[in-house]
Amino acid sequence: MARKPLESREIMARDALMNDLSALAADLIPLDTAFEPGPVDVRLVLDRIRAAGGSRWAIPKEYGGAELSDVDQLRAYDAIASGSLSMALIQTQRDAACRLIARSPNRALRERLLPALARGERFTSVGISQLTTSRGQGGAPKMRGRLDDDAIVIDGVMPWVTGAPFCDYLVTGADLEDSRQVLGVAWLADPGVSVQPAMRLLALTSSHTCAVTCEGVRIEQADIIRGPMPAALGDRAPVRSLVVSAVGVGLARRIVNELRNRANKLTGELAALVERLTREFGEVSDRLYDAAARLGFDEDFSKESFRAEVNALLARLAITLLNVAKGSGYCQPHVAERLLREAMFLQVWSAPTTTQTETLRRLFREGE
């Protein structure tokens, strides 16, 4: 299917967005250096992203949002990640919550929540890993729900919630006894909702990723996003499948820029290796945005395989930067050791077993 050519007004809008994103990435880098060892309060940095339009990116225009195209949303995450991976994680989880609300059949809920999110007056995140990658041993649900008239009462834990202390409410999910699932809004003001201290992570502690527990939290019908139904997460925005790869490309861009800053000190095979990795990065970045432009039309593109390619490239870039930085790069605080730790996050972020296996195959060049 041929893509419709952009009109001049659309080109101007995209150019303005790219200029804003470039400025945002440059502003984030010095702010990001203060995030370790963390956790530190990043609300002023969230305000900088909101000033760049970040509160409106993932929200439909009818609710006051910008409703960016898939390509532009990924460029926004790429830009933020190239300045601060912590902020990219917070922003993507906030936007994931917005998209789930925006795709809800509950129109009254959309009309009640989305305009305030678009204006930046409210903040949210997702606590849904208990329905996807964080199920307990034997598949035991970590968040259980039971019907109570028209409401759902939930008990359990959201194992991973990024930016939880800054949120007004969370988009969460629970398994019911009959194997159906429900998605709904849990308000942090509810006395049954408890945000645990930020996890001490290998990196990104200032993303304020926390476990959140719920004890007898009642989600009224007005706050139910979807369900009860067999697979409450089944209808999700197509762009979601490339979000993690876009963040990985953004972090890789940061590392490539650090390598370029040191290029004049490199010689021989090391210089050639860095140049080859830089070219490879450019090719991977181009393929990301080409794939984003064809979302829903290109059935041959494997998002899982591409994710593994990004992960493997990112790991090789981070190790290369450490080698180039030599001994000083192994000392804290140094950009090389920090970016190496941050690159490892992509190995575990929403990575199914198939992606992990393919990543390792690429890193170890299995079969050669």
> Domain check: are 299 and 276 in the same one?
yes
Per-residue confidence at 243, pLDDT binned at 50, 70, 90?
Answer: very high
pLDDT digits (tens, 9 = 90+) for 148-184: 988 999 999 999 999 999 999 999 999 999 889 999 9
Q: Coil, helix or strand for 106?
A: coil
> Domain check: are 47 and 140 in the same one?
no
User: Burial level of 1, CB count in 10 A (0-12/13-18/19+)?
Assistant: exposed
pLDDT score of 367:
47
Total of domains in the chain: 3
> Domain check: are 111 and 213 in the same one?
no
CB 228 within 8 A of CB 176: yes
- List, in order, residues 6 or more apart from 99 with CB less than 8 Å away: 58, 236, 237, 240
pLDDT score of 72:
94
> Domain check: are 108 and 135 in the same one?
no
Specify if 3 maps to a domain.
no
DSSP alpha helices (H): ranges in the chain?
Answer: 8-32, 43-51, 70-83, 85-102, 107-118, 240-261, 268-293, 303-325, 335-345, 353-364
d(CA 341, CA 315): 10
> Domain check: are 84 and 180 in the same one?
no
Looking at 57, 87, 118, the residue that finishes a domain is: 118
Specify if 186 maps to a domain.
yes
Specify if 328 maps to a domain.
yes
> Domain check: are 224 and 259 in the same one?
no
What is the domain extent for residue 92?
Answer: 8-118
Average pLDDT for the chain: 90
Specify if 235 maps to a domain.
no
Residue 228 has pLDDT above 70, yes or no: yes
Query: Mean per-residue pLDDT for 182-191?
Result: 96
Q: At what angle do helices 43-51 and 85-102 cross, to 10 degrees?
A: 60
> Domain check: are 113 and 35 in the same one?
yes
Query: Mean per-residue pLDDT for 255-259?
Result: 95
Query: Mean per-residue pLDDT for 96-120?
Result: 96
The residue ranking higher by pLDDT, 48 or 139, is 48
Looking at 74, 98, 118, the residue that finishes a domain is: 118
Residue 208 has pLDDT above 70, yes or no: yes
| CATH number of the structural domain spanning residue 263 | 1.20.140.10
For residue 315, CA distances in Å to 100, 156, 319 come to 31, 35, 6
d(CA 252, CA 33): 17
Q: Coil, helix or strand for 249?
A: helix
| CATH number of the structural domain spanning residue 166 | 2.40.110.10
> Domain check: are 224 and 245 in the same one?
no
> Domain check: are 128 and 114 in the same one?
no
Specify if 55 maps to a domain.
yes
pLDDT score of 12:
67
Query: Mean per-residue pLDDT for 107-134?
Result: 93
pTM of the model: 0.92
Specify if 60 maps to a domain.
yes
> Domain check: are 355 and 250 in the same one?
yes
User: Burial level of 275, CB count in 10 A (0-12/13-18/19+)?
Assistant: middle
The residue ranking higher by pLDDT, 56 or 236, is 56
> Domain check: are 138 and 91 in the same one?
no
| CATH number of the structural domain spanning residue 21 | 1.10.540.10
> Domain check: are 143 and 200 in the same one?
yes
Per-residue confidence at 140, pLDDT binned at 50, 70, 90?
Answer: confident
Specify if 329 maps to a domain.
yes
Residue 216 has pLDDT above 60, yes or no: yes
Residue 299 has pLDDT above 80, yes or no: no
Looking at 178, 202, 229, the residue that finishes a domain is: 229
Specify if 214 maps to a domain.
yes
How, if at all, do strands 124-127 and 169-176 pair? parallel
